[in-house]
Structure 1
Amino acid sequence: MKYTKVIYLGIIPSHKRELVGGYATANKRNIEEYKKQNIEVLAIHYPILYAKNPVQIVLYLLKWFLFFFRCVNHSLFNSSKATLVHITPLYKYFIYIEFFLVLVFKMSNKDILTDIRAGSFIDYYNKNTRVYRFFIRKLLSLSKHIAVEGLIYKNFIIEDLSQNKDILYYPNYVKDDQILPAKRTLIDTEPIQIIYFGRITETKGIYTILKTFELLQQRFNIKLIVIGGFNSLDLKQDVERYANENLIILPPKSKSEINSLLEHSHFFIFPSLHPGEGQSNALTEAMAYGLVPVVSNNGFNKTIVDDCGIVLSKEASEEDYNKAITQVISNNQWLILSEKAKNRIIDNYSNGVVSNNFFNYINRNL
């Protein structure tokens, strides 16, 4: 008996609100994949707190009450055993609400799939109270299926949390039609183009990116493109001082616009120190276009890149990034790494591969 319906709980974009970030992107894609399999999806959106004034906080709490009521209602009046409850927990203080949600659905004989996507899952667990850790373990024990975005979570859940279950490595994927079909080339007469796209913050390494470019510019015909939104006006004004004809700073762009820039770019630089880093969609999307990644060993970067680029320590400076990129260029490694990067996405992080693994997993564990 295969699942015919999914009740999906999480932060989910809709026509009323377009959300950015790994959680929202992954949830949207998961729902699309269920629908492709002709599985009915009921999406119950987590409430979002847009402003921290008293009125918004009261409305936010009211929305959580209504959210919980909807879940209880669907739990009680949906008796089909072919229904799967797919939840992408937020952890932190949400874990207590999420545990009781899972418990309610479990009591009505629904199968639970807990989809762990937080980049700081292990840190949250280790740094929190015994009560918090108890609820994490109980939530996982109630789950028939467990999927993890980071490969390091698989051993952690089995060994440290004593969950002797079949756990699926379920990374974010690149859509098959978003992988560049043509083989890349490196033309000597054209500038080497480095690109970063995503949120522009200090923890994402914007100053390391800018200073690396300044060092590389002393030796190579090189261009840097930075795309994204800033988290503060002061940072925006400061970063924009660096802009010139070879250092272009752009606001957020559509996927098709980014793809047109990726097609002519050579390196994706990502020196992130962000504490909650998980799997970067920008990283896999860049590799799918044959860009050689030069990244920090943060989040799941090392797992994604493997031997298809350069992974530097979190302590690496702009001099280290400059040296890494210089070596790739000077040793004529770019074409080899470019093809390896694209093939790694095709073999491990493409739509077809990841989705096929997912549905094989839930069907064999019915």
Structure 2
Amino acid sequence: MLTIAYCGPIAASGEPARGGFEAANRRLIDDLRRTGLAVIELPYAPERKPAWRKLMAYGTGFAGLAWRIATGAERWDVFHITPLRRQFMLAEYILCQLARRRGARLVVDLRAGAIAEDVASPSRLRRAALKRILAAADLVCVEGETYLELDDVRGRNALYLPNYVDAGTVGQSPAMPSTRINLVFLGRIVPEKGIEVAIDCVRALQAHGRQVQLKVIGRGDEAYLDRLQVDTADLPVSWLGAVPHAEVPAHLHDSHFFVFPTRHRGEGHSNALTEAMSQGLVPVAADNGFNRQVIADTGIVLDITATGKDYAAAIETVLAGGDWRGMSEAARRRILEQFTGERLVPALVERYRDVVEGVARSTRVAEPSGTTLRAAVGRG
């Protein structure tokens, strides 16, 4: 049996995740165990507020991980890390080097966006650390297929590993919008994710005479949430807070549109986007991260600077054109066909076995569009 040491931000079992890294890692770890692999969790310290507490938590957390990796009794075949990069790069480089010295194969899983910026970081030290991490990797996983073409990834053993859902959780398309349009905002409640644009969208739809409801699901800073709730006291906005991952589909099943006006610099492949599409919600999202790649022709992609009025206009266009039913079914089908664990996890397990056995081979990885994309061939 292969043993995988999985290192990164990891949500506790049954608890709401604090962000996309935690949610995706929790799901993948559970699925890897279901395939029969042994997985040892090496979680990063949870975030703290204010900033100085966060810095202390991460500092002591990385020191504890380094000690465990260097001195622990566990034997690992693979060390799989989802690095946060940026200011954590040097610490993550040390963790990777310690794991390699213990004989584990190194799998570096590049999540979120802005990887190209990290590779070209103005910090020579951080840039060198990332390059050395990638150079030492036996396998590089990427969340967006475009990253297979990065200079530090091209020509290496690489795998396109997007975010996904379990096929069994893919729901049926909801009923057609009739008297009321049900919108959802799912994710971290922070300004850069676009929550205020989504609220402005509600105002614009109301101004057009539409009955509308917005569900907001996710965690955020308490003071910021309090202000938003005061500002929306006269609007049809329901604040549901953070919910366990398993309960998310139930909160989505009667909704029509997923509004995702993210302007987050590090946006990648959003878990929330995949989950919403899997329940037949038509996505209306910003052209940021991998949104356009994931959505394709199943929703509306707007400029990253689009306003709430622009989002409302896009929704009106879909409803006026009578396209909602077809787009809803297409979104659901796209997830079922391209972004499920049943399709993606076996490919990762196969790559684990290859790198442990020292096998170098070419693998063709399915693109979401349905064409094929060759993963780079490198050393095993």
**Hey, what's the Cα distance between the residues in 2 that align with 1:202 and 1:52?**
17
C-alpha displacement at 1:262, in angstroms? Answer: 1.6
Q: Deviations over 1:106-139 (max 9, x none)?
A: 2343211111113332223323323322221111
Q: Deviations over 1:251-287 (max 9, x none)?
A: 3334465433321111000101112222221111110
C-alpha displacement at 1:55, in angstroms? Answer: 8.7
Task: Tell me the residue number matched to 1:199.
Answer: 188
Residues 173 and 279, structure 2, Cα contact 8 Å, conserved in 1? no
Residues 226 and 249, structure 1, Cα contact 8 Å, conserved in 2? yes
Shifted more, 10-19 versus 206-215: the winner is 10-19
Percent of aligned pairs with the same amino acid = 28
Matched, 1:208 2:202: no
Task: Tell me the residue number matched to 2:8.
Answer: 10
Gaps of 5+ in 2: 358-380
Task: Tell me the residue number matched to 2:361.
Answer: none
**Hey, what's the Cα distance between the residues in 2 that align with 1:56 and 1:315?**
30
**Hey, what's the Cα distance between the residues in 2 that align with 1:54 and 1:264?**
42
Task: Tell me the residue number matched to 1:170.
Answer: 161
Amino acid in the other structure paired with 2:261: P
Task: Tell me the residue number matched to 1:282.
Answer: 272
Identify if the C-alpha distance between structure 1 residues 58 and 184 changes in structure 2 by more than 3 Å, giving closer, same or farther: closer
Shifted more, 216-225 versus 136-145: the winner is 216-225
Question: How many matched pairs?
Answer: 355
C-alpha displacement at 1:99, in angstroms? Answer: 1.8
Identify if the C-alpha distance between structure 1 residues 145 and 56 changes in structure 2 by more than 3 Å, giving closer, same or farther: closer
Amino acid in the other structure paired with 1:204: K
**Hey, what's the Cα distance between the residues in 2 that align with 1:96 and 1:323?**
46
**Hey, what's the Cα distance between the residues in 1 that align with 2:270 and 2:90?**
27
C-alpha displacement at 1:323, in angstroms? Answer: 1.8
Task: Tell me the residue number matched to 1:65.
Answer: 63
Q: Deviations over 1:216-248 (max 9, x none)?
A: 221433322223333252553244332347333
Residues 309 and 337, structure 1, Cα contact 8 Å, conserved in 2? yes
Shifted more, 212-221 versus 226-235: the winner is 226-235
Identify if the C-alpha distance between structure 1 residues 118 and 7 changes in structure 2 by more than 3 Å, giving closer, same or farther: same
Q: Deviations over 1:75-114 (max 9, x none)?
A: xx6667xx11111112113222222322233234321111
Amino acid in the other structure paired with 2:313: K
**Hey, what's the Cα distance between the residues in 2 that align with 1:346 and 1:46?**
31
Shifted more, 233-242 versus 91-100: the winner is 233-242
Query: Pairwise CA RMSD of aligned residues?
Result: 2.7
Shifted more, 55-64 versus 276-285: the winner is 55-64
Question: Which of 355, 358, 362 is 2:345 aligned to?
Answer: 355
Question: Which of 10, 22, 25 is 2:23 aligned to?
Answer: 25
Shifted more, 197-206 versus 227-236: the winner is 227-236
Identify if the C-alpha distance between structure 1 residues 98 and 324 changes in structure 2 by more than 3 Å, giving closer, same or farther: same
- What is the TM-score normalised by the length of structure 2? 0.84
The secondary structure found in structure 1 opposite 2:335 is: helix
Task: Tell me the residue number matched to 1:148.
Answer: 142
**Hey, what's the Cα distance between the residues in 2 that align with 1:223 and 1:57?**
39
Residues 198 and 261, structure 2, Cα contact 8 Å, conserved in 1? yes
- What is the TM-score normalised by the length of structure 1? 0.87
**Hey, what's the Cα distance between the residues in 2 that align with 1:56 and 1:317?**
33
**Hey, what's the Cα distance between the residues in 2 that align with 1:133 and 1:8?**
23
Gaps of 5+ in 1: none
**Hey, what's the Cα distance between the residues in 1 that align with 2:78 and 2:138?**
10
C-alpha displacement at 1:317, in angstroms? Answer: 1.9
Amino acid in the other structure paired with 2:119: Y
Question: Which of 255, 262, 279 is 1:265 aligned to?
Answer: 255
